[in-house]
Amino acid sequence: MPNPSQIVLPQIAQQRLACLQARSARIGVIGLGYVGLPLTLLLSEAGFKVTGFDIDAKKVDDLEAGRSYIFRIPAAEIEDARKKGFSATTDFARLSGQDAIILCVPTPLTSHREPDLRFVENTARAAAPWIREGQLVVLESTTYPGTTEELLVPLLEAGNTDGLKVQGKGEAAEHGVFYVAFSPEREDPGNVTVARRDIPKVVGGHEAIATELAATLYEGIFTRAVRVSSTRVAEMTKLLENIYRCVNIALVNELKLLSLRMGVDIWEVIDAASTKPFGFQPFYPGPGLGGHCIPIDPFYLSWKAREFDFNTRFIELAGEVNEAMPAHVVRSVAMALNRHGKAMNAARILVLGMAYKKDIDDLRESPSLTVIELLREQGAEVLYNDPYIPAVGRGRHYNLNMSSTPLSKLEQYDCVLIMTDHSEYDYRAIVRQSRLVVDTRNATRGIASEKIVRC
């Protein structure tokens, strides 16, 4: 890794660096979702002139009218940003006026659990004609090592009408180039203990100048940028972090299943183990993985590994264990009902929590979706309550068509199933009013009642 002070910048990069350092740079953010919108607000707050780009005209209209579509972002923050010059658009021609462009588009899996890079590809094709000399392009979407070099760079170069090329690893060009880097988003939605700006930003450029420009950009909004030697290292860093979580969650999920049979309280065990001042980090069992990251990202690496005749066994095993958890929850509900002399067929079940984790409004890949489908398949009548998710329509893998029901008259349900441990639920009152409570999150910890089944 070259020392930043030793990098000789050509004139076109010096100008960009100076405006990034002065925070007078114009930044375009493509993809205004859970990652892109908060990022635009951080940039705007720091003084950058930000333009948001999205193909979803409804989102653009909302932002232009000062409205927010993300629960934890108040409309006032959008208004503040607008006063500082933030605007949103579907018109990609406006990319040509930006000093730096950051891509925050989705990277899901296909139905065959393979990387679905259509969003990155479409964005690259749409942006390519508008890239100008000296601009910096940064990909933030989580993906396998090699995506920036093998997919993004060729698409941007092929589609650029001025014939610009990405600055290569050799001698710095004075003209005809732009710069490309990868920097993963590491946010933990709903985590209020670490401010987003205090999460160090890992940055890897296609070559040293891109690393320096991207690191300088992020140093304007994050406490620290961590420079790494390549886009591949930055891409792999994000995957290591998420695979680490996925594998450790699978481990505690498996140990939970064993502990249930042995009559041991796994949560008490984890609390006790957590008192060790070194060598142990707690992970908690649950009803299955959710969110846009942990259930998906590891499979980006498994897929890429096949190109190298390599089988990522930890990832596959963790996936197997974690994906079996919703079925375990449904079995536990059936057994609990059975003990109450009820069959699953025609049982009335209230699911508490649709979001994939507590205190957020994101239901992507939520295990609640799978559990509800499995309960329905067995003939149960299922309702749900979630203060963050008023309705659930159709998604890529489900079609539930439900609305959140008020949290009242709990005695009418044969079973109340706690899937998400939102902080605002009063668990004592829930247990008091319910006939039977199945708890997948240990949300009822400390409450002694025969009605509770922890699973």
Burial (CB < 10 A; 0-12, 13-18, 19+), residue 111, is exposed
**Host H or E run for residue 179:** strand 177-182
User: For residue 11, which of 175, 146, 148 has the smallest C-alpha distance?
Assistant: 175
* Residue 109 per-residue DSSP state: B
CA 348 to CA 391: how far, in whole Å?
A: 19
Q: How many residues does the chain have?
A: 455
In whole angstroms, how close is the CB of 120 to ligand NAD at the nearest point?
8
189 binds ligand NAD (CB under 6 A): yes
Distance CA 25, CA 13 (A): 13
Q: At what angle do helices 75-83 and 36-45 cross, to 10 degrees?
A: 50
Binder of ligand NAD out of 80, 187, 219, 323 (CB under 6 A): 187
- Residue from 7, 55, 199, 257 touching ligand NAD (CB under 6 A): that is 55
Q: Are 137 and 101 in contact (CB under 8 A)?
A: yes
Distance CA 87, CA 28 (A): 10
Give alpha helix (H) positions in 46-152.
57-64, 75-83, 118-127, 147
The residue from 28, 52, 106, 220 that contacts ligand NAD (CB under 6 A) is: 106
Does residue number 32 form part of the binding site for ligand NAD (CB under 6 A)?
A: yes
Q: Coil, helix or strand for 115? A: strand
Nearer to ligand NAD, 29 or 333 (CB): 29
Between residues 55 and 260, which has the closer beta carbon with respect to ligand NAD? 55
| Structure tokens, 12 | 């076109």
Nearest residue (CB) to ligand NAD, 89 versus 404: 89
x/- track of binding to ligand NAD for residues 269-308 (CB under 6 A): -----------------------xx---------------
- Which of 28, 36, 204, 367: binder of ligand NAD (CB under 6 A)? 36
Q: Is 293 a catalytic residue?
A: yes
**At a CB cut-off of 8 Å and minimum separation 6, what does 360 contact?**
71, 72, 189, 190, 388
Told to check if 325 binds ligand NAD by CB under 6 A, we report: no
Residues 139-178, mask of contacts with ligand NAD (x by CB under 6 A): -xxx------------------------------------
Q: Identify which range of 32-40, 299-307, 320-328, 418-426 contacts ligand NAD by CB under 6 A.
A: 32-40
In the beta sheet, which residues pair with residue 416? 350, 437
Please, what is the minimum distance in Å from the beta carbon of residue 238 to ligand NAD?
7
**Looking at beta carbons only, is 109 or 402 nearer to ligand NAD?**
109
The span from the CA of 40 to the CA of 369, in Å, is 31
User: Which one of the spans 14-22, 29-37, 271-279, 441-449 is the region binding ligand NAD (CB under 6 A)?
Assistant: 29-37
Tell me: does residue 244 bind ligand NAD (CB under 6 A).
no
CB nearer to ligand NAD: give 241 or 265.
Answer: 241
How far apart are CB 53 and ligand NAD at their closest, in Å?
Answer: 6
Looking at the DSSP bridge assignments, the partners of residue 136 are 100, 179
Q: How far is the CA of 144 from the CAs of 116, 175, 186, 214, in angstroms?
A: 11, 31, 15, 20
Residue tagged active-site, from 104, 246, 293, 455: 293
- Counting residues that bind ligand NAD (by CB under 6 A) gives 28
List active site positions.
293
Point out which residues bind ligand NAD (CB under 6 A).
30-36, 53-56, 59, 104-107, 119, 122-123, 126, 140-142, 185, 187, 189, 292-293
